[in-house]
Amino acid sequence: MGFSLYFMNLTHDEVVDADRAGLAVFLERHASVSSEAFGDASHAIAPGTLSFDGAFSDLYLDSLDQEGPVTGGIWHATLSAQECDFIFELCVAGNLVIVNPQGAPNLLVPGPGRDVAALPTFDGPSAIVSVGSGNDIRRQLTGDFEGFERYRDKVTGRSGAPLRERDRERDLE
């Protein structure tokens, strides 16, 4: 369960290179980020090498040494606070926008100073939104985040004490 999100630097309808120097500084600050290879392609962050709130993540980032634009993404974002904060910082460091293939908002623009007029255009209200924090990312993607968290916790069983206590009491009956 989760959202698929893609991280890339866009100018109009073209994918252009990320800020590699900014990403390198970000990766240095996050020493726990692995540079293991995944499959036959090298990644700066390989899927399965990070965890947020105790759950493994499939977030990835292309190698900073590759030819062509550096992009990244996450196939099953849980939108936890820790995960969204990491995504926000990563995207700000690399001058990356967040592409949401699920629909509006289609693009989330982290941090200040991005020329929104240079981004691809989408029809409809709130197709492109600016976000100033990881919490803004969660709010834009989930609307009623507390409702989403309750649903996520019910489905994944990661709900914390209240549901576990009820399950234990039910098992004792």
The pLDDT, as a whole number, for residue 90 is 95
3-state secondary structure of 107: strand
When pLDDT is averaged across residues 117-122 and rounded to a whole number, the result is 79
Task: For residue range 21-51, list pLDDT tens digits in order.
Answer: 999 999 888 866 555 544 445 677 767 778 8
β-pairing, 128-131 vs 107-110, is parallel
* Least confident stretch, 30-39, 68-77, 109-118: 30-39
3-state DSSP helix/strand/coil % of the chain, to nearest 5: 35, 25, 40
Mean pLDDT of the chain: 80
The pLDDT, as a whole number, for residue 74 is 94
Task: For residue range 124-147, list pLDDT tens digits in order.
Answer: 656 888 999 999 999 999 875 566
Which residue type, as a one-letter code, is found at position 76? Answer: H
When pLDDT is averaged across residues 84-102 and rounded to a whole number, the result is 94
The pLDDT, as a whole number, for residue 144 is 57
Structure tokens that stand for 13 in this block: 């309808």
- The crossing angle, in degrees rounded to 10, of helices 20-29 and 81-94 is 140
Nearest 10 degrees: CA dihedral of 141, 13, 58, 24? Answer: -110
